[in-house]
Amino acid sequence: DGGITQSPKYLFRKEGQNVTLSCEQNLNHDAMYWYRQDPGQGLRLIYYSQIVNDFQKGDIAEGYSVSREKKESFPLTVTSAQKNPTAFYLCASNRGYLVAEAFFGQGTRLTVV
Protein backbone atom coordinates (compact mmCIF):
# COMPACT_ATOMS: atom_id res chain seq x y z
CA ASP A 1 0.00 0.00 0.00
CA GLY A 2 1.19 3.49 -0.79
CA GLY A 3 1.77 5.85 2.05
CA ILE A 4 4.08 8.05 4.01
CA THR A 5 6.10 6.65 6.90
CA GLN A 6 7.73 8.53 9.72
CA SER A 7 10.16 6.99 12.16
CA PRO A 8 10.66 6.71 15.00
CA LYS A 9 7.30 7.33 16.63
CA TYR A 10 8.96 8.54 19.84
CA LEU A 11 12.42 10.05 20.11
CA PHE A 12 14.37 11.29 23.09
CA ARG A 13 17.28 13.67 22.76
CA LYS A 14 19.83 14.89 25.23
CA GLU A 15 20.70 18.54 25.42
CA GLY A 16 23.28 19.46 22.80
CA GLN A 17 22.67 16.48 20.52
CA ASN A 18 21.55 16.48 16.93
CA VAL A 19 18.82 14.03 15.97
CA THR A 20 17.38 13.04 12.61
CA LEU A 21 13.73 12.25 11.95
CA SER A 22 12.99 10.01 9.02
CA CYS A 23 10.24 10.53 6.43
CA GLU A 24 9.75 8.18 3.49
CA GLN A 25 6.95 8.11 0.91
CA ASN A 26 6.14 5.66 -1.86
CA LEU A 27 3.38 7.76 -3.42
CA ASN A 28 5.65 9.17 -6.15
CA HIS A 29 4.93 12.64 -4.84
CA ASP A 30 7.15 15.52 -5.90
CA ALA A 31 6.62 17.76 -2.88
CA MET A 32 7.37 17.01 0.75
CA TYR A 33 6.91 19.09 3.88
CA TRP A 34 7.91 19.14 7.54
CA TYR A 35 5.61 20.69 10.14
CA ARG A 36 5.97 21.24 13.84
CA GLN A 37 2.89 21.02 16.06
CA ASP A 38 2.72 22.56 19.51
CA PRO A 39 -0.38 22.89 21.70
CA GLY A 40 -2.40 25.93 20.63
CA GLN A 41 -0.08 26.69 17.71
CA GLY A 42 -1.48 24.53 14.97
CA LEU A 43 0.93 23.31 12.32
CA ARG A 44 3.90 25.49 11.50
CA LEU A 45 5.99 24.88 8.41
CA ILE A 46 9.67 24.14 8.98
CA TYR A 47 10.94 23.23 5.50
CA TYR A 48 9.51 22.08 2.22
CA SER A 49 10.85 20.61 -0.99
CA GLN A 50 9.15 20.62 -4.35
CA ILE A 51 11.81 18.70 -6.22
CA VAL A 52 14.84 16.54 -5.57
CA ASN A 53 17.95 18.45 -4.49
CA ASP A 54 15.97 21.59 -3.77
CA PHE A 55 14.24 22.83 -0.61
CA GLN A 56 13.05 26.07 0.94
CA LYS A 57 12.77 27.38 4.46
CA GLY A 58 9.37 27.67 6.02
CA ASP A 59 8.27 29.92 8.85
CA ILE A 60 10.37 28.36 11.62
CA ALA A 61 13.48 26.90 9.95
CA GLU A 62 16.03 28.10 12.50
CA GLY A 63 17.73 25.20 14.24
CA TYR A 64 16.63 22.66 11.65
CA SER A 65 18.16 21.24 8.48
CA VAL A 66 16.92 18.96 5.71
CA SER A 67 18.10 17.15 2.62
CA ARG A 68 16.30 15.82 -0.45
CA GLU A 69 18.69 13.47 -2.21
CA LYS A 70 15.96 11.08 -3.28
CA LYS A 71 12.36 11.71 -4.29
CA GLU A 72 11.13 9.26 -1.67
CA SER A 73 13.01 10.64 1.32
CA PHE A 74 13.04 13.96 3.20
CA PRO A 75 14.86 13.61 6.54
CA LEU A 76 14.76 16.39 9.11
CA THR A 77 17.67 17.06 11.46
CA VAL A 78 16.98 18.89 14.68
CA THR A 79 20.25 20.51 15.63
CA SER A 80 21.54 21.67 18.99
CA ALA A 81 20.81 25.22 17.83
CA GLN A 82 17.09 24.56 18.17
CA LYS A 83 16.41 25.89 21.67
CA ASN A 84 13.00 24.35 22.24
CA PRO A 85 12.82 21.16 20.19
CA THR A 86 10.26 19.24 22.25
CA ALA A 87 7.24 18.95 19.96
CA PHE A 88 5.26 16.72 17.64
CA TYR A 89 6.66 16.63 14.10
CA LEU A 90 4.59 15.81 11.05
CA CYS A 91 5.83 15.01 7.58
CA ALA A 92 3.56 15.42 4.56
CA SER A 93 3.72 14.99 0.82
CA ASN A 94 1.66 15.86 -2.22
CA ARG A 95 1.96 15.91 -5.97
CA GLY A 96 3.20 19.47 -5.77
CA TYR A 97 0.57 21.28 -7.73
CA LEU A 98 -2.39 23.32 -6.68
CA VAL A 99 -5.12 20.73 -6.52
CA ALA A 100 -3.15 18.14 -4.63
CA GLU A 101 -4.22 17.28 -1.12
CA ALA A 102 -1.44 16.55 1.33
CA PHE A 103 -0.96 13.11 2.84
CA PHE A 104 0.55 12.91 6.30
CA GLY A 105 2.71 10.51 8.21
CA GLN A 106 1.80 9.43 11.72
CA GLY A 107 4.23 11.83 13.32
CA THR A 108 7.25 11.74 15.61
CA ARG A 109 7.10 12.93 19.18
CA LEU A 110 10.49 14.41 20.11
CA THR A 111 11.34 15.01 23.76
CA VAL A 112 14.48 16.62 25.13
CA VAL A 113 15.68 14.95 28.32
Residues of this chain that bind other proteins (CB under 8 A): 31, 33, 35, 40-45, 48, 50, 56, 58, 88, 90, 92, 94, 96-102, 104, 106-107
Q: Give Dmax (Cα) for the chain.
A: 41
Q: Is 59 exposed, middle or buried (0-12, 13-18, 19+ CB in 10 A)?
A: exposed
* HSE-up (13 A, CA, CB side) for residue 25: 24
Q: Supply the minimum distance, in Å, between the C-beta of residue 111 and other proteins.
A: 15
Do 69 and 1 touch, CB atoms closer than 8 A?
A: no
Q: Which is nearer to other proteins, 81 or 100 (CB)?
A: 100
Q: Supply the minimum distance, in Å, between the C-beta of residue 47 and other proteins.
A: 11
Q: Which is nearer to other proteins, 81 or 95 (CB)?
A: 95
Q: Which is nearer to other proteins, 13 or 104 (CB)?
A: 104
